[in-house]
Amino acid sequence: MPESLIVEVWGKPAGIVLKEGNTFRFHAFARPFSELDGTEFNTLGHARLAAARLQPMADCRPQA
């Protein structure tokens, strides 16, 4: 059975990653992370980095 891990970007959930053998498969919770849905990564860190690139910190700041 695959191991699942939650991926957060700037403190908000982006999706889960399932460890399948030597790879990590991303499953998105919502946009903009759905672009990564089903993508395989070599490491959990690569999955987190890819998700963070889709939502820069500036997009997470409250609007004044």
10-16: long-range contacts, CB 8 A cutoff, minimum separation 24: 10/52, 10/55, 10/57, 10/60, 12/60, 14/51, 14/54, 14/55, 15/51
Region 54-61 average pLDDT: 67
Per-residue model confidence as pLDDT tens digits over 13-52? 999 999 999 999 999 998 899 999 999 999 999 999 999 9
The residue ranges of every structural domain in the chain are 3-60
* pLDDT band at 57; cut points 50, 70, 90: low
